Chains A and B, each alone.
Chain A
Amino acid sequence: MSSIFRTIHTIKGTSGFFGFHKLESVAHVGENLLSRLRDGELVINPEIASALLALVDAIRKMLAAVEQTSQEGPEEYKELCATLTRLNEGKPAAKAPEALAVQAEKSLEAGNEAAPPPPVPATTPAPVAAVPPPAAPVQGAPKPSMGEILVQKGVAKQEHIEDAVQKQAAGDPRHIGEILIEQGAVRSEDVKEALQVQQEHVRASAVSESNIRVDVQLLDKLMNLVGELVLARNQILQFTATQEDSSFVAASQRLNLVTTELQEGVMKTRMQPIGNIWNKFPRVVRDLAAMCGKQVELEMEGKETELDKTIIEAIKDPLTHVLRNCVDHGIESPEARIKKGKPAMGRVLMRAFHEGGQVNIEIIDDGGGIDTDKVKKKALLRGLITADQSEGMSHREAVNLIFLPGFSTAEKVTNVSGRGVGMDVVKTNIERIGGTVDILTALGEGTTLKIKIPLTLAIIPALIVTSGGERFAIPQVSLLELVRLEGEAARKGIEKIHGAPVYRLRGNLLPVVYLNQQLQMDTATVGAEKVLNIVVLRADDRQFGMVVDGINDTEEIVVKPLGKQLKSISVFAGATIMGDGKVALILDVLGLAQHAHVVSATRDRNLAEGSKASSGNVEDRQTMLVFSAGAHGRMAIQLAQVARLEEFRHDAVEHTGAQEVVQYRGQIMPLVRLREVLFGTEEAAPASDTMQIVVYSNNGRFVGLVVDQICDIVHEAITIKHNEGRAGMLGSAVIQGRVTEMLDVEGAIKLAQSRKELALA
């Protein structure tokens, strides 16, 4: 209501300034009525609503007349004014019924939106833009006025234009151009040129206005048909491989080209600029900020980035929700911001751009960031994580807790956000259309949300693989690389850490899954393969390798959804028809990764844990390696930190300077004798000619921890009592009923370093 009032008020003011007195008085009466409505002194009812709509129509009519004839038009609007005045004198109501008011507001707004913006030079420099008022067609940019063009070209001065405008206002019926020529302010050639510019502009807008409305269902149908055509084309191409007839081959090549272009063209018809949904956001942010008592400015980059219509529909709500979160929770109050040395006005930036075959949408705010401590506390409270998990969590993992269902850090749930359903629904909706969500935050500085969505939904490039005698398609967007191991490398390539197979890819440990196992198909020969095919996939920013029997081609496939009986199987994203007419299933890489517990739903980083911790069942159990180092007894280390357990002969130890090393897997691995480093005691004469080494790996570099004896691997719930001041130790815990010290590996290594003053090369 306020905004409508403001618009009418502005019209009243400036129409008076230009001498449009009729317009002024009509607007004035309307303004009075609106003012009372806005203040709640009057209740809106259908009669008032109609009168207001009539007011808007009248104003529109007059403005149109002004545009064309520089006069307000013949009508007097006496009746309208009388009605408005009468309604204004109506008795005030006790309370304005919300619903009706809102409804009326909506209809007025809808009416208002189509109305031309007031002829107020709010955005344009004061003198020039006045006459004629900028035309406001719904599409296309407003036609530049003669005065604007002439000043822009530099052939006329502001003052001359102003004079001419005044003359027109005073009743001179001629065009600006004519008046100026008569005054000698411009030459007739300039006016002619300016006219041409105007004409071109009109033509250009006319061209861009040649749009046509098409039923969305028809477009969907076209999309489907194109999809079928793509499949048929694939089948034909398969045949051409075996054909000699050159004219046939030529014709099918042509078919191929045309189909590809047609596919691209039809895709485009459904593309809409993201600006279509973004345009509502500044208002949303403004209202929200006002409601929360904050100052927030919204900037948008990349409004013209185009997305498929269905994607736009799907992300509208998630984006709105994220924005609300930014304003409600992200941006601090102006006082808090000033205290922190930030400008009182918070800033939210929305960016959209195409990259890597995907649409990227980023929402960046300079608010307070996400407090991971608060997040962890809340998650603990809600029973979503355990105390141990909370302690062992990385910053990234803690931040991602907000995506868990049932989570909310708002102390009180406002009607704005914080209902506890938000972020997980955002994530689900985005993942449903094949996208990913990522969140980066720095406490006190701000938060960035990154959304990536694949550009095309229906036809995607995919790699065809075989496993268990069946063919499967892997969307190329999730595919990182292919690894082929033969012979010796195939046999030794896959190593095991506590039963979980891994592969070393350029130094990084890659969890490995076997597709035939995951799909519970018959595994013909396991272990005796001569050739190992590993497909390196990416799911949710984690990488893993998948062993398949064979790798076929890359093809463009049409994604067809599975029936409702099969939709719940998370490892499949859909199905497709291959060139030979047979059906093949399309793998859902993320679903597969979750199914294999490579990427667990609760983001447990302890891979060796296997299914227990990641099934969502909160358990405190950890897997630990217990060993002895020195006569002082037992020590333990989390098994996840152990790369391997090795045994070396004493004579394998070599030296580089003062540092003991052994050669290990192509590296020179430094040794840390824990007994010496932690307890300062020299080792007594060795009991055997081999020594036990716990290999610890950090970023591809190995360190060998020399221990006395490996005792056991246990799986227990423990609580660590932290001891201060003990370098190299995290604390102590009771394991297997005995007091055991927990080793701080990094600490111990640093200790060894400082003792021997060496650099870990």
Chain B
Amino acid sequence: MKQTSQYCTFYLDGLFFGVEVMQVQEVIRYQETTRVPLASAVVGGLINLRGQIVTALDLRRRLNLKEREKDRFPMNVVVRTDDGAVSLLVDEIGDVLEVKEEHFERPPETLKGLARDLIEGVYKLPDRLLLILDTHKACTLDAESAAVLKK
């Protein structure tokens, strides 16, 4: 049983999140996105990542958080999934943190429904809580939210 884990951290609406560092392919600044009409609002758009077309998901919308302010440009946390790379749009990037397993706990009761599904757990850091995102679930849009209009 390992003692520590490493997470790539970021901020969303004042909340502090982390994803396992091994899942992260890269972190890049704001990229111009191409809108996808008829797609769910969670889909921020498509970006060109060195010749690959990557879907960008707006994590604020995915977690049902407040809309980002108009003048704020999101950063991209590109994660690896079975389907290829997916970019998660976040407010700001934090550091890579190493945290001790003993500080891990299941999600707190105060976290609302949807967000609770997508959070694997919490690390109690000295000054704040680190919410660990379930990347796979976050990147999977269910049948309803996947598209506004389907075949």
Contact = CB atoms under 8 A, between A and B. Distances in A.
B53 A583 contact: yes
A139 to B, nearest CB: 39
Nearest to B42: A565
A403 interface: no
Interface stretch (A87-95, A346-354, A539-547, A566-574): A566-574
13 contacts: A231-B51, A521-B37, A560-B52, A564-B140, A565-B40, A566-B36, A566-B39, A569-B39, A576-B53, A583-B33, A583-B45, A583-B47, A594-B151
A228 B52 CA distance: 9
Given A228-B51, A570-B151, A565 B146 contact: yes
Given A565-B140, A583-B45, 18 more contacts: A468-B37, A519-B37, A560-B53, A563-B55, A563-B84, A563-B86, A564-B140, A565-B42, A566-B147, A568-B151, A569-B36, A569-B38, A583-B34, A583-B47, A583-B48, A585-B34, A585-B36, A595-B149
Q: Interface residue tally of chain A, by bracket?
A: 20 to 34
B141 A569 contact: no
Contacts of A468: 37
Interface of A: 228, 231, 468, 470, 519-521, 560, 562-566, 568-572, 575-577, 581-585, 591, 594-595
A520 B38 contact: yes
A598 B34 CA distance: 27
Nearest to B37: A519
A569 B35 CA distance: 14
B2 interface: no
B147 A569 contact: yes
Residue among A521, A577, A594 with most chain B CB within 10 A: A577
A520 B37 contact: yes
Residue among A565, A594, A595 with most chain B CB within 10 A: A565
Nearest to A560: B53
A470 B46 CA distance: 13
A228 B46 CA distance: 18
Interface in B121-139: 139
B51 A566 contact: no
B88 interface: no
A585 B35 CA distance: 9
Nearest to B35: A470
Contacts of A569: 36, 38-39, 147, 149-150
A566 B55 contact: yes
B14 to A, nearest CB: 26
B102 interface: no
Contacts of A520: 37-38, 148
Contacts of B77: none
A569 B86 CA distance: 18
A575 B139 CA distance: 19
**Nearest 7 pairs of A and B residues by beta carbon:** A519-B37, A563-B55, A583-B34, A570-B151, A583-B46, A564-B83, A560-B53
B38 A575 contact: no
Given A470-B35, A582-B34, A568 B51 contact: no
Residue among B32, B33, B38, B52 with most chain A CB within 10 A: B38
Contacts of B75: none
A470 B38 contact: no
Contacts of B90: none
B78 to A, nearest CB: 12
Contact of A519 (B38, B84, B140): B38
B48 A581 contact: yes
